A and B are shown apart, each in its own frame.
Chain A
Amino acid sequence: MAQYSYFGVLLVCLLGTAWLEFLLRTRVYRRVIRLSLAILPVLIIFSMWDSYAIAAGHWTFDTHFVTGWIAYSGIPIEEIFFFIVIPICSILTLEAVRSAKGWVVGDEGSEG
């Protein structure tokens, strides 16, 4: 089971923020097009960074704690999921704070 450690951390992040969608009515998962478009540039840029950092030896992954599946360019599949999960958690947090506080975010449009 140890090889699923990194995936486990990501799963806890996803489950730990999921309740915001219901109890704070963040409606982030319901806006899946906007969510996907927001994740995509970050996913591309940070994957490139990750690929460079792995090639340059900036960081390595303990083979006991990752599945060993490589997405591409030496990047463990867990890292790709990291660049999807963390943006989702971040957006859920922003929308939860907006829901709770009603503060201006800057995307309200003319009627907002």
Chain B
Amino acid sequence: MTYTQLSISAVIIAIIFDLVIFRTMLLRRKVFWTSYAIIIIFQLVSNGILTGFRIVRYNGKAILGSSTPLDRAPAFLGDGRIAFAPVEDLFFGFSLVLLTLVTWVWLGGLGIQREPRSGPPHSKVAKFFD
């Protein structure tokens, strides 16, 4: 299987875990989408470093775009890439994050270290979140 096929499959599997198997229903909650919106920004930056400096190189046969060039950075945008990284990395990241959070929330639902709960923010920063 190509990275494209595997990464899309992983997204579908993670969604099934959330909505059907563990029924954590994170995909229907704004707490998830707000968290993911923050995470994807930092993913684009950190993954952009890993792929833009070619610390990780991709084979064009496995992705929608072409192989990471040997002599220069890949496209920043276009050729199947977003912020140097193959679009497949966004699917990979989404499934990784969703599966992690589904497991975390599912464990909490079982009562495993539900305590100590998070919050409230420290008084020094609380005013930023009112």
Contacts and interface: CB of A to CB of B under 8 A. Distances in A.
Interface of A: 5-6, 9, 12-13, 16, 22-28, 30-31, 33-35, 37-39, 41-42, 45-46, 49, 53, 56-62, 65-66, 83, 86-87, 89-91, 93-109
A58 B113 CA distance: 38
Nearest to B57: A60
A101 B129 contact: yes
Interface string B112-127: 1110111111101100
Interface of B: 2-3, 6, 10, 24-26, 29-32, 34-35, 38-39, 42, 46, 49-50, 53-59, 61-63, 93, 96-97, 99-101, 103-109, 111-114, 116-122, 124-125, 129
B35 A49 contact: no
A106 B26 contact: yes
A93 B38 contact: yes
Given A109-B111, A109-B114, A90 B101 contact: yes
Contacts of A30: 116
Given A53-B3, A102-B119, A104-B31, A23 B125 contact: yes
Given A27-B117, A90-B101, A13 B46 contact: yes
A100 B99 CA distance: 23
B120 A99 contact: yes
Interface of A is mostly: helix
A89 B39 contact: yes
Contacts of A41: 99, 103
